[in-house]
Amino acid sequence: MMESSTQWLVIAIVALPGVAVLALGLSAWLRRLIEERAINAVVAVAFAGSAIAAAVLIAFTAATGAGGVIASAGDWFAVEHYHFTWVLIADRLSLPFTLFCALLVGLIGAFSRRYLHREPGYLRFYLLLALFGAGVELVLLAGTLDLLFFGWEIVGLASAMLIAFFNERAQPVEHGLRAFATYRVCDTGLLAAAVWLHHAAGSSTAVLPAPGATPWMGFVGPGDQFQATAIALLLLWASIGKSAQLPLGGWLPRAMEGPTPSSAIFYGAISIHLGAYLLLRSAPLLEQAPIARLMICLVGGATALHATFVGRVQSDIKSALAYASMTQVGIIFVEIGLGFHHLALAHIVGHAAIRSLQILRSPSLLHDHHQLERAMGQQLPRTGGHIERIVPAAIQPWLYRHALERGYIDALLFDFVVRPVLRLARELDHRERQWTSHLANGRARPTMLDQRDPVEVS
């Protein structure tokens, strides 16, 4: 009886936000004029319920000493030996996150009530926020890589749609598309990993850890080390996109075009850490792949160094905070690569809390500084003096220029990856038009060669 109740609680953590999405989606389609208060109430009730369910489960596992609760809703669909199963895992890794995320989404919902008051897209914002929350809870509780991918894609879509929330302006739309393109390219890694894991290991379900191994359930690779390494590298590729690590982190500062509350929860708190979470959930697999762990350390370390310098020369607070987030997530990657899983877990929660607060307060930065200066009776002291001491004076101008140009990484990516791909696509399109014209007796058709890049990278 108790076991059944706890399983229902696990399902409720995901189901309640899902119901909120359905309710808000239906009202948006029917164009019923719902009061802002009612919209808030739907989101608040859903995520409060989610948070309560997570809190009860934490209390239950703490009281009973159980490692966690596994809830299975059975096969969603199955053909031959392949089963897509709804397995949710509420354990020591996922439960703190689910509680934290449910609380944070609820808080952001309450904060946005005033921030977006009378905004034309008010309902759309809350619909996307609820969709994001449901996707995140699914990612956190997913017991199979297939299910994790399901939630992962929902999070990516909600993220891009919220970046492009102010769609009457060109920049947010462009940046939303850029973030989505980065997500899609990197999500190929997660999908390929899930498919590979099924073929090589027969299943992508998380399993209980061996005694003395990782402290929570996780995805396990096949016995063959080459395959385990390849799958781990695919997961790293997926994490790089979602967590804005080098060399694909250029979308993050641009993502701040969205409403501040969504920026806070996505890029200060939750979405940015999902890559790290995926790696933590894949800890048993990473144990089998030392090369992949080394790569995680390298990517994280390089990102942390790059972002800390670039962040210091930004002239707007949101970009500075975006790079600060990248720095911390890079350090978290290093911690995961080195095997400090509990440290990484604590680092994620602590960083998410402080960063989301900073982003939420960012529109009031000047006001806050004035208050601080009044309280101190003097100007705020300069920060970053240690960098000036560590870095030799001869290198400082070069480093400053490098940081101003954001490491030239976006430009290099555009010149050596995006532009050639688009050029190839346009060339193929040109040939295609020539061929069809030739087939239709030489009738001329306009070509696309003289037009601007359809996916412009600013």
Partner 1 sequence: MSYLLPAMTALAYCVSALVVRRCTSALNARSAATVFAAAISAASITGSGVAVGIRLPIDLVPTEAPYASAAIAIVALLAASLAPLASHSPRTFSRIFFLTAAAQACLATTDPLWIAVFWCASAWIAWAELSAATGAGISTRLFGLFHAVAGALFVLGAGLLSIGDSPTGAGLLLAGIAIRAAVFPGHSWFVPLLEEAPMGIAVAFAAPQLAAFAWVAASADQLPGAIANTVAGAAAFSALFAALLGLAQSNGRRAMGFLVMSQTNLVLTGIGSQSAIARSGAVFTWQSLCVAFAGFAMALAAIEARRGGLLLVAGRGNHAATPRLAAAVLIFGLACVGMPLTPGFTGEDLLLQGALSQGLQAAAIVATALNGITVLRIFLTVFSGRAPGTGEIDLRPSEVYVVGAVLAAMLAATALPRGLIAPASLRRAAIEPTGPSSGMISGNAEGKAKPHRSILPLVR
Q: How far is CA 256 from CA 113, 266, 363, in A?
A: 19, 10, 12
Nearest to 185 by CA among 146, 242, 253: 242
Query: Mind giving me the DSSP string for 25-40?
Result: HHHHHHT----HHHHH
338 contacts partner 1 (rule: CB under 8 A):
no
By CB under 8 A, is residue 439 in contact with partner 1? yes
Classify residue 79 as exposed, middle or buried by CB count within 10 Å of its CB (0-12, 13-18, 19+).
exposed
Judged by CB under 8 A, the residue of 174, 257, 287, 410 near partner 1 is 174
Q: Does residue number 419 form part of the binding site for partner 1 (CB under 8 A)?
A: no
- Residue closer to partner 1, measured from CB, 181 or 208: 181
Q: Which residues pair with 84 in a beta bridge?
A: 77
Does 188 contact partner 1 by CB under 8 A? yes
Specify the amino acid at residue 336: I
User: Is 151 near partner 1 (CB under 8 A)?
Assistant: yes
The distance of closest approach from Cβ of residue 96 to partner 1 in the complex, given in angstroms and rounded to an integer, is 25
Work out whether 450 is an interface residue with partner 1 (CB under 8 A): no
For position 81 contacting partner 1 by CB under 8 A, the verdict is yes
Q: Which amino acid is present at 369?
A: H
Question: Treating both helix axes as pointing N-terminal to C-terminal, what angle do 170-201 and 225-242 enclose, rounded to 10 degrees?
Answer: 160
Give the span between the Cα atoms of 417 and 403, in whole angstroms: 22
Task: Confirm or reject binding of residue 82 to partner 1 (CB under 8 A).
Answer: yes
Based on CB atoms, which residue is closest to partner 1, 405 or 432? 432
348-367 residues near partner 1, rule: CB under 8 A: none
**Cβ-based burial of 168 (10 A; exposed 0-12, middle 13-18, buried ≥19):** exposed
- Smaller CB separation from partner 1, 170 or 207: 170
Does 223 bind partner 1 (CB under 8 A)? Our answer is no
Helix (H) or strand (E) holding 84: strand 82-91
CB of 417 to partner 1, least distance (A): 13
Does residue 170 interact with partner 1 by CB under 8 A? yes
CB of 190 to partner 1, least distance (A): 10
Dist. CA 33–CA 221, nearest whole Å: 51
- Main-chain dihedrals φ then ψ at residue 135, nearest 5 degrees: -65, -45
Interface with partner 1, residue 176, by CB under 8 A: yes
Cβ proximity to partner 1: between 151 and 218 the closer is 151
Under rule CB under 8 A, which residues in 109-128 are in contact with partner 1? 120-121, 124
Backbone φ and ψ for 83, nearest 5 degrees, come out as -125, 130
- Residues in contact with partner 1 by CB under 8 A are 28-29, 31, 76-82, 84, 120-121, 124, 146, 149-151, 153-154, 157, 160, 164, 167-168, 170, 173-174, 176-177, 180-181, 184-185, 187-188, 191-192, 195-196, 198-200, 202, 421-422, 424-426, 428-429, 432, 435-437, 439-441, 443, 445, 448, 451, 454-455
